Structure 1
């Protein structure tokens, strides 16, 4: 057995790449494709035909050097090998490796038992659908759900009809912020479970959405509706929660015989929900962290993503992992999903020194992991001072009034002069991203 200090999950790929160049040449490496299977074992598919004797010798060497970290079917495969055509047609990543002290770009296919939605190509915004704003965070407790609720109130006051969707299935909270004991019969959890049991009809869909009981239509011209994570049936029968949750985050049989992924189910659900009424915008509360269900709102909805962060090491470390992965996903030149990413500095201190320190740390993370290193007009890269850049954060200031905020118990939190002190800058930035600023200014000028 090889020692983990010499060979491990992270080191196997560069080790195997160097063996390929040593045994053949660089063109063999850069024209072929690496495959990592569900257990993490590697193999390499060469586009050129390789003599059986050469293949046998290489596979023996790779097994000696890399042990069980390479495929039991052989580390080296070629155009005559089973599965070659499937590999050619698979979605691929481009990775940069250091091989023999030089940088080389290689193609990579990643097979997974779990987390497959993170490999899905980012979805473009749906034509004719309302814009979607997704609230993401690495950790809970950063005020993400509270910010979503406050923004929905501000949008309502601006005359916008808003649909909120709570995808934080393991820690649902939006329902408590918006309903005073009047949740809809069903929620997102039920929709996903029923998808495998015959689906949800158009006639049943209204039972998944309710209007907030806290929005005074005399104050707010727009409506705020919610599709909660859990509905009244689950609230009344809490023993069913875990049973439903264990069945919600799975692929289900599709009409074509191929499974319908979680990312496809959630995309369909939100498109259908947003078509039940006239909505100007959809706000989605995503699950914190890097779980499977988090992939759906980030890359599966064609949404604008707000990444909430505080000035804490876990925020920077978590986003370093997330952005490093996202940087490998394909980009459609006609709709670059990366331009729809924005960071939010949550619970920000008022001092300029604290804000600049956060800006510096965030820029280091984003520039190291998300921006392209090359220069040029078509390169995704921004200078430190560019206010339109993903790393230029929206700001929400710390406010003790919004610690454990409960508008059901404290209606004053719904007053604009209360929430604007902490959230005013953030609300302005969100309106600008959604393209609503000019409409609001025009409406105000007409009174």
Structure 2
């Protein structure tokens, strides 16, 4: 018995118990071993009669992937209700209807936030802020450059925009937007200091030197919270970035890393409101996320954003990675909640005689649709994806960003005005237009927010 097989065998036993009329919770520990918790309520005698059978099934079917006490009954447990009613438990997404019910609680060392999908709620009394995360399963797809382009474009539309660089291991959005004019501190400083209650007074959000174009009677604003602050001046203590980075992911007794990261984004938004000319909160926050299946991406996509733009190129690595991620959302029962947040971006798209844009996009969208089928259940297929593969409003319908060799190896600090070059605008035109339209529609649909 291997890890991959044990899950289905454990669920089969749980479903059999539920068929006897017992609500059950299937728990998997950090090693992958299973325990069945049975809510016997007023049916202790019936549960006692079946318990030996369930324990025998666990021993026979799950091998080493059963816990030392594979079956527990609520009547013999201390505070069983706290476990049975855990907010982290999700309903069995694929099991048949039964007299009882099956819930699943998966304990992991990292990555739990991929299965905790929620929509960010505005703080009481504050103006709603739209958050968009830009994410790529694989690095090197132009995500940070797209973040910088979108930020300036939205500011040109009269919006107050905040960019938060969450790519802590490979900061990019901050230097692209600020050049060498970074604030003294960065997001890493905030995460380290906040862990010991020492974040007061940090300079980690700054206004970009870019002056947005006037739109009607409003002028936009562009603010940046870089991952890394500027280098130390002569006489100052050196910026020990690696030493700090090695500590940011630590959970503390007061708050997990995920909670601290969420608090850091709120702190960035508060800093803009506190320092702005008119105490203006950001209309839009762009989160430049780390690539890969990492806790930062999990928190950003599952807990912090209203829209997640998934970047990719048309290759096996992209589709294998997104396929794994979508399968995890589907198996944890999060598909209906997550798919409305998602949108694909076809990045670095070729357009030449030998590789025409239309042919590339057709293949890309077909592969994206194959991945998204894990998230398109029957209800979604009937109501939201009426056009199937060719539904331009569906999440799999990728928006293109053209490959532009002129940006390869560019140093933004030595290339002023690079975003305004015609070839750059042509490469990002459709992406900027489509994404801006979606964000502005979301803003107009929110209470107390008319949008531009």
TM range (shorter): 0.7 to 0.9
CA contact (8 A) 2:160 2:284 kept: yes
Matched, 1:37 2:29: yes
Cα 1:29–1:398 change in 2 (3 A) is farther
Query: 2:370 matched to 1:364?
Result: yes
Contact 1:121–1:330 (Cα < 8 Å) also in 2: no
Distance change in 2, residues 1:150/1:379 (3 Å) = closer
State the partner residue of 2:277.
none
Query: 1:242 matched to which residue of 2?
Result: 242
**Corresponding residue pairs, total:** 415
What are the equivalent positions in structure 2 for 1:220-231 lying under 5 Å apart? Answer: 221-231=219-229
Task: Give runs of aligned pairs for residues 259-408 of structure 1, distance below 5 A.
Answer: 260-275=255-270, 276-277=272-273, 278=280, 279-328=282-331, 337-350=338-351, 351=356, 352-367=358-373, 369-374=374-379, 383-408=388-413
> 1:143, 1:347 within 8 Å by CA — same for their partners in 2?
yes
Task: Say whether 1:92 aligns with 2:93.
Answer: no
Give, in whole Å, the separation in 2 of the partners of 1:234 and 1:169.
18
Contact 2:180–2:413, Cα closer than 8 Å, also in 1: no
- 2:276 aligns with none
- CA contact 1:327–1:370 (8 Å) conserved in 2: yes
Change (3 A) 1:59 1:152: same
What SS does the corresponding residue of 2:63 show, helix, strand or coil?
helix
Deviates more, 1:154-163 or 1:104-113: 104-113
Q: 1:361 to 1:234 in 2, by over 3 A?
A: farther
Indicate conservation of the 8 Å contact 1:117/1:262, yes or no: no
SS at match of 1:249: coil
The residue that corresponds to 1:159 in the other structure is: 158
TM-score by length of 1: 0.83
Query: Hey, what's the Cα distance between the residues in 2 that align with 1:330 and 1:346?
Result: 29
Instruction: Give a deviation string over 1:309-358, Cα, whole Å, max 9, x none.
Output: 1101111111111122233566799xx55322111010112321111111
* 8 Å contact kept, 2:313–2:348: yes
Residue 14 (structure 1) aligned with residue 8 (structure 2): yes
Contiguous gaps of at least 5 residues in structure 2 = 274-279, 445-452
User: Contact (CA 8 Å) 2:232, 2:238: kept in 1 or not?
Assistant: yes
How has the CA–CA distance of structure 1 residues 33 and 281 changed in structure 2, closer, same or farther, with 3 Å as cutoff? same
Structure 1 residue 93: deviation in Å?
Answer: 2.0
**Contact residue 404 and residue 423 of structure 2 kept, 8 A:** no
Are the equivalent residues in 1 in contact too, given 2:93–2:332 (CA < 8 A)?
Answer: no
- Cα offset for 1:97? 5.1
Instruction: Give distance in 2, aligned partners of 1:107 and 1:297.
Output: 25
Per-residue deviation, residues 76-111 of structure 1 (Å, max 9, x unmatched): 222224263232111222334579xx9x98421111
| Per-residue CA distance 1:336-390 (angstroms, 9 max, x = gap) | 55322111010112321111111111111111x2111346766787622221111
Deviates more, 1:346-355 or 1:174-183: 174-183
Structure 2 CA distance for aligned equivalents of residues 60 and 109 of structure 1:
22
> Could you tell me whether the CA contact under 8 Å between 2:335 and 2:375 is conserved in 1?
no
C-alpha distance after superposition, 1:176-212 (max 9, x if no partner)? 21233221111111111111111423xx25x111223
* 1:410-430 Cα shifts (integer Å, max 9, x gaps): 224221523221000000011
Tell me: CA distance 1:63–1:154, structure 2 relative to 1, closer, same or farther (3 Å).
Answer: same
Aligned-pair RMSD on alpha carbons?
3.2
Q: State TM-score, norm by structure 2.
A: 0.82
Look up the match of 1:445. Answer: none
Secondary structure (helix, strand or coil) at the match of 1:435 reads: helix
Partner Cα distance (2:343, 2:211) in 1? 31
Per-residue deviation at 1:45?
Answer: 1.7
